[in-house]
Structure formats: structure tokens, C-alpha cells
Amino acid sequence: MAQDTNNYWEQLERLEKLIKASELKAGVLFSFHSLILGLFVDRISNFERIFTENWVFIVFALLWMASVIISIYYCFKCFQPNMQMKYNTNVFFFRDAANEFKDPKKFVKEITKICETNEEIVKQLSYQIHAESVIIDRKFYNVRKAITFFILSFIFVVLMMSLWVLVEIFGVF
């Protein structure tokens, strides 16, 4: 029984959109970190006194920086997930198409052979769907971790600002 390969192609298209969405989220997080770090560095002289006089502020600042670094690390991992998957040569894997078939004529011959039967197309597309699904899973795992540490870094920024207001405006501590 011949299967409709359109469903497989549509699934691959959907997976590509998910890959782009995860990378967009990581990019937005990275941009927020850049903005907040830039603002902090720009105004570091405002915090000079509290840095020298209040160890709690230093602890919050160190925890904030650690959270930012970890979040940025996971953002970068989203863009470059380390995949260790083993598949047979597949005409639909871009790396295989570029490296396994140095001669374009051999590639055309192989893809033509694959596309003669729905069974072989479905098999190779299924491997592609599996590979992309694993990639997406890793990307969203990394995005979730980056968001978690972003939220944590934001909490430390709020704590630092609250402490700064208490010290500078109200003279507490």
C-alpha cells in the first residue's frame, strides 16, 4: 500500500518552524541579557559605595552574574545542540548530501533511486523526522534552562535594586 509522503513533508516543515521558534526565544533571551548587562556596566559607578560597604549586595551581584552566565550558556547551546545520532547515509540529510555524495551525478542517481518507491522515501523521511525531533527536544530543553536562569537572574536584579534603594534612599543597613 502506497503511503502519502505529503504528511511526512508537512511534518518536516512543522519541525523546521519549531527549530526557528526555539532559536528565536534563545536570541530574545540573549538580547535581554545584553541589555541588562549593558545598563549595569554603564551605571556601575552608582553602585560603587554599596559594593564596598555591603557584602549582601556583593553576594546578590555574584549570584546574578552566575545566573546570567548559565542562562547565556544555555542560549548558545540552543544554537548548537550536540547531537550524537547514528543513521545510515540518507539523501535527505544535508550533511550526507554534501559529504557522502561528492559527485552530484551519484547524488542524483541515489535520490532518484530512493524516490522510485514510496517505501524508501517514507523510510528516509522518517529518519529525518526523528533526527529533527531529537534536535528540537534538545533545543527546547536548552531554552527552558535559559529561561529558568534568566528568571533567577531577574530575581537577583530585583533584590539588588531593592537593597540599593533601602541603603541609598532609606539609609537602612
Domain boundaries, the chain: 6-168
Place of cell 555524495: 101
Task: Report pLDDT digits (tens) over 124-166.
Answer: 999 999 999 999 999 999 999 999 999 999 999 999 999 989 9
Q: State the Cα–Cα distance between residues 91 and 89, nearest whole angstrom.
A: 7
The predicted structure's pLDDT at residue 52: 86
Nearest to residue 118, comparing CAs of 12, 14, 10, 6?
6
Task: Report pLDDT digits (tens) over 66-116.
Answer: 999 999 999 999 998 676 778 888 898 888 888 888 889 999 999 999 988
Distances (CA, A) of 154 to 37, 54, 87: 11, 20, 42
